Structure 1
Amino acid sequence: MFLKRVELQHELIPTYKKYPFSIPSIKNLHQLNFDNNVTFFVGENGSGKSTLLEAIADKCGFNTAGGGRNNYYNVPFSNSSLGEFIRLSWLPKVTDGFFLRAESFYNFATHIDEIGAEDIRVYNAYGGSSLHEQSHGESFLSLFLNRFRGKSIYLLDEPEAALSPQRQLSFLKIIHDLASEGNSQFIIATHSPILLGYPDATIFSFDEGTISEVEFEETDHYKITRYFLENRERFLREIFGD
């Protein structure tokens, strides 16, 4: 692991009435310790998990629209509103890594094409061809397989967005291969019960107004998915009111 701790500098916050400090999990954050090289953030939309992940990416110097430290392009509303209020503690500090933001991945792929127009070798880090010439799922896996390497930190916001269940399993293998070498760290915001099933990972829940560590089987993602698969007809009758 490289990133050991995230601290919210409350003394710098002008008001808790405005976003993002109005989000309960952010407002109540003091410090979050990372004791595992694979960590997941879970919670409902709006719970603050992506907001904190984006702030960490900003503090790492990564493009908050997606990319690493050397990817310079602009996407409206991609700036972090929390980054300047957090402090990161490293041991040791790393500068290599990547921030994947699923919702703006199209813009990142366009950025790579612009660079590739001047130097085709750029595509070597993305499977040898334009990310736009691959399916959404293929482009994500090309990124993971070719761009990700050791001694780096990877911050991924809902990587399952473009991955089928089978490809999510392939992604788990990629995480395992990199993390087991001991020189890659992953922090992943996700809704996927498949990804959350990664063995021995730390899972932080952003629900209930605080950030707290939970077990895989305690997550709503696991409980709801299991209940649905085991009781599909009953579950559907309940939500349809039949």
Structure 2
Amino acid sequence: MFLHEITKLNEVIPNERQYPFHIPAIRQLDRLRLEKRVTFFVGENGSGKSTLLEAIAYQCGFHTGGGGRNNSYELDASESHLGQFIRLSWKPKVSNGFFLRAESFYQFASHIDELAKEDLRIYDYYGGKSLHHQSHGESFLSLFKNRFGRPGLYLLDEPEAALSPTRQLSFLSLIHELQKSAQLIIATHSPILLGYPDADIIHFDDQPLARIRYEDTDHYQITRRFLENRQMFLRELMAD
């Protein structure tokens, strides 16, 4: 474990009615303790999980559009509004790590191509070739396999966005290898990734934030009910 507590600095927030401080999960946040090497953030879209992940990245010095401490490139709306109002507690502090943001991964891949114009060896960290010359899923796995691995903090925002179910299963084995020397915080909607054993799942739809069992997540329950009663679900969804 490296990062063990996140504290929101409520006393210096200028206006709690403004975004993102009015989001219920963010508004109710005081302290969040991290107790496992793998922690999942779950919740509906807009629940604040990606917002908090981005704020952690900001405090770590990672590019909030995606990348590590040494990545610098222009990206609209990459500034974290919450980042300057949280404090991270470390044991011990690490500077290595990475922030994966699925929605801006294309811009990150273009940034790597620009760096490669000066030194082609940069591709060694991304599978030996441009991320743009790999499929979306291949580029994600190349990043995980080659850029990750050293002890550090890895923040992943919806990594399943580019991964088929089969590759999500492959990613589970990568998570298992990474967590031996690193800490991962993952915001996800994937019931497959959430099935990783002995991880903490933090539920952002409850206030204050609470840990939840895998079997109690909507992701598990809805997926299971749909697979077991597909025809019934479809009839209800498509009824005139």
TM-score range, shorter chain: over 0.9
Residue 234 (structure 1) aligns with: 232
Residue 114 (structure 2) aligns with: 114
- Give the superposition deviation at 1:81: 0.2
> 2:42, 2:178 → 1: CA distance?
22
Residue 178 (structure 1) aligns with: 178
Residue 92 (structure 1) aligns with: 92
Count of aligned pairs between the two proteins: 240
Judge conservation of contact 2:96–2:150 (CA < 8 Å) in 1.
Answer: no
> 1:22, 1:6 → 2: CA distance?
18
**Runs of 5+ consecutive residues of structure 2 not aligned to the other structure:** none
**What TM-score, normalized to structure 1?**
0.98
- Give the superposition deviation at 1:208: 3.0
- Give the superposition deviation at 1:209: 3.6
User: Which residue identity does 2:193 align to in structure 1?
Assistant: L
- Give the superposition deviation at 1:16: 1.4
User: Which residue identity does 2:206 align to in structure 1?
Assistant: E
**Runs of 5+ consecutive residues of structure 1 not aligned to the other structure:** none
Judge conservation of contact 2:6–2:86 (CA < 8 Å) in 1.
Answer: yes
Structure 1 SS opposite 2:139: helix
- Deviation track 1:88-136 (CA, whole Å, cap 9, x = no partner) reads 0000000000000000000000000000011000000000000000000
- Deviation track 1:205-239 (CA, whole Å, cap 9, x = no partner) reads 10034311000001000000000000000111122
The 5 Å alignment of 1:153-172 reads 153-172=153-172
- Give the superposition deviation at 1:178: 1.6
Structure 1 position 198 matched with structure 2 position 196 = yes
The 5 Å alignment of 1:50-61 reads 50-61=50-61
Structure 1 SS opposite 2:20: coil
User: Which residue identity does 1:21 align to in structure 2?
Assistant: F
Residue 138 (structure 1) aligns with: 138
**What TM-score, normalized to structure 2?**
0.99
User: Which residue identity does 1:167 align to in structure 2?
Assistant: R
Residue 187 (structure 1) aligns with: 185
Percent pairwise identity: 65
> 1:168, 1:218 → 2: CA distance?
21
Structure 2 SS opposite 1:193: coil
User: Which residue identity does 1:201 align to in structure 2?
Assistant: A
Runs of 4+ with >3 A deviation: none
Judge conservation of contact 2:2–2:153 (CA < 8 Å) in 1.
Answer: yes
> Which of 201, 214, 222 is equivalent to 2:220?
222
